[in-house]
Amino acid sequence: MMIRVMIFLFMFHILFISCNSTKKRLSNEELIEIVKEEGNRITAITQQVLGSKLKSTINEQGIPQALKYCNLQAYPLIDSLEEKMDVEVKRASIKTRNPQDSPDRNELKIINNYLSDIKKSQTPEVYVSIQQNEIHFAKPIILNDQLCLNCHGQVGKDITDENYQVIKALYPEDNATGHQLGDLRGIWSLKFNRDYFEKRAIEMSVEKNNSTKI
């Protein structure tokens, strides 16, 4: 009987540890740091995937086909990444190409703050907001690649008339031209559930421990 009780207590202890190891309750300070790290990681992956596919399409098929790629494939690709990463990913701008990228009230406030920072020659910082179980991360998208001006620069100078006709055909409400290098193109806007980070904190701790052992 005693052995059964000991076995039961041992199994209960293992189950308790297992359940608690899937989450780590974070302080607000810890949470903000991990949100920044994870937000930067996800936006970098998303930008790399989108950018590499876009550049390969430009090199192999030209600007018109790249515009069509963005129109047909960019959003399904982001949807796929969202599902894998368990996060809502959005690119928001006040100079939209696709109306789907229009900012909500909070995103508009963030964009205007970033524009104000840039006007003052200040570097825009990442934004983190914690509202109960919802966490919002945002960071600026700065137009810093000459290649981008082929689709977002000045019409007649950076954008050929032929390519502009393709843009207007694909995006009748386009308002995303006239940019220069260094302009704020928009923002990455990510929304998470707090539970995501309390689980992710354990994974990141394990990853860091493993990296130090190598």
CB atoms inside a 10 Å sphere around CB 94: 17
Tokens 């790249």: give the residue. 66
Asked if the structure places residue 126 within a domain, the reply is yes
Kindly report whether the global pTM for this prediction surpasses the value 0.85.
no
Instruction: Give the closest residue to 33 by CA, choosing from 186, 184, 208.
Output: 208
Asked if the structure places residue 7 within a domain, the reply is no
Asked if the structure places residue 37 within a domain, the reply is yes
User: Among the residues of 87-160, which ranges form H helices?
Assistant: 105-119, 149-152
Q: Is the pLDDT reported for residue 9 higher than 80?
A: no
Residue percentage of the chain with pLDDT more than 90? 54
First to last CA, the chain: 46
Long-range contacts formed by 151-160: CB under 8 A, 24+ apart: 151/63, 151/66, 151/67, 151/70, 151/176, 152/176, 152/177, 152/179, 152/185, 153/177, 153/178, 153/179, 153/180, 154/178, 154/179, 154/180, 160/63
Asked if the structure places residue 12 within a domain, the reply is no
Domain range for 160: 27-200
**Encoded amino acid at 78, one letter:** I
Asked if the structure places residue 17 within a domain, the reply is no
Contact between 18 and 30 (Cβ < 8 Å): no
Asked if the structure places residue 99 within a domain, the reply is yes
Contact between 127 and 138 (Cβ < 8 Å): yes
Q: Is the pLDDT reported for residue 19 higher than 60?
A: no
pLDDT band at 181 (very low <50, low <70, confident <90, very high): very high
The reported pLDDT for the residue numbered 209 is 59
Angle of CA points 74, 193, 51, to nearest 5°? 20
91-147 per-position pLDDT tens digit: 999 999 999 999 999 999 999 999 999 999 999 999 999 988 899 999 999 999 999
Asked if the structure places residue 105 within a domain, the reply is yes
The backbone region for 86, taken as left when phi is positive above 0, alpha when psi lies in -120 to 50, beta otherwise, is: left
CA dihedral sign of residues 34, 40, 45, 49: positive
Asked if the structure places residue 19 within a domain, the reply is no
10 Å CB burial of residue 187 (0-12, 13-18, 19+) is buried
Q: Tell me how many domains the chain contains.
A: 1
